[in-house]
């Protein structure tokens, strides 16, 4: 059943709230960000913001779930398009980075997980763990098909994921820089993976 117009408007506005919150959390951290900061960035009143989230803890939790969703969707798209493991890795990096620095960004850096209540913290950590395991599977596919050189998939995955996950900390919305990141980062981050000839 298709969502009604009220539900669609709510989801669109809440997505705007989560993007604004991601910007604030990335720049000032959890303790340095207030709900008023987010409301002011969007031109909303404090009561209007409470229509979308109950409190700051829920806001950071929803930001982290959104970040996990973005990564998962980018990876699923890359895998669905097939090709060698190396090609899938490069497409995934491109798709994920395009979202981070494009109109759907910013995405919250998952640096404030200890601030979450236990149930939320466990959920976010599990989402992160599953994403890391799925990236390691992509690396293993590439090693099996000969497109990726033999490597320690855990260390390699951590190095690459750490690099892309930190982009929102230093990228601040410059269009020229965004294009350069999208064009260059997938190649830079995957160059060391390729077997000779790939």
Nearest CA to 74 out of 17, 147, 3, 131 is that of: 131
Average confidence score pLDDT of the chain: 93
Residue 136: pLDDT above 90? yes
Residue 1: pLDDT above 60? no
Residue with tokens 């090709």, as numbered in its chain: 83
pLDDT at 197: 60
Nearest CA to 36 out of 45, 25, 28 is that of: 45
| CA 33 to mean position of chain CA atoms | 20
Lowest mean pLDDT among 4-13, 101-110, 132-141, 156-165: 4-13
pLDDT at 3: 58
Average pLDDT over residues 61-73: 96
Rounded to whole angstroms, how far apart are CA atoms 176 and 82?
A: 30
Residue 2: pLDDT above 60? no
Q: What is the assigned CATH class of domain 60-193? A: mainly alpha
Average pLDDT over residues 64-82: 96
Asked whether 193 and 86 are in contact (CB, 8 A), the reply is yes
Residue 182: pLDDT above 90? yes
Any idea where the domains of the chain sit in the sequence?
Answer: 60-193
Report pLDDT digits (tens) over 7-45. Answer: 788 889 999 999 999 999 999 988 899 999 999 999 999
Report pLDDT digits (tens) over 139-170. Answer: 999 999 999 999 999 999 999 999 999 999 99
pLDDT-based confidence at residue 196 (cuts at 50, 70, 90):
confident
pLDDT at 172: 84
């Amino acid at each position: 059943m298709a969502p009604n117009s009220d539900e669609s408007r709510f989801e669109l506005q809440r997505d705007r709230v989560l993007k604004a919150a991601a910007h604030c959390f990335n720049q000032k951290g959890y303790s340095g960000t207030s709900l008023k900061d987010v409301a002011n960035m969007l031109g909303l009143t404090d009561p209007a913001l409470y229509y979308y989230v109950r409190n700051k803890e829920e806001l950071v939790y929803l930001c982290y779930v959104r970040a996990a969703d973005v990564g998962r969707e980018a990876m699923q798209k890359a895998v669905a398009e097939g090709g060698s493991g190396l090609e899938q890795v490069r497409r995934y990096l491109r798709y994920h980075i395009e979202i981070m620095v494009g109109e759907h960004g910013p995405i919250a850096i998952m640096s404030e997980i200890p601030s979450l209540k236990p149930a939320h913290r466990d959920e976010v950590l599990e989402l992160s763990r599953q994403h890391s395991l799925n990236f390691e599977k992509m690396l293993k596919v590439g090693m099996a098909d000969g497109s990726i050189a033999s490597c320690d998939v855990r260390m390699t995955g951590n190095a690459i994921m750490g690099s892309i996950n930190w982009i929102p900390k230093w990228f601040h919305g410059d269009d020229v820089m965004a294009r350069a990141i999208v064009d260059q980062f997938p190649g830079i981050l995957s160059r060391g993976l390729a077997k000779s000839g790939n």
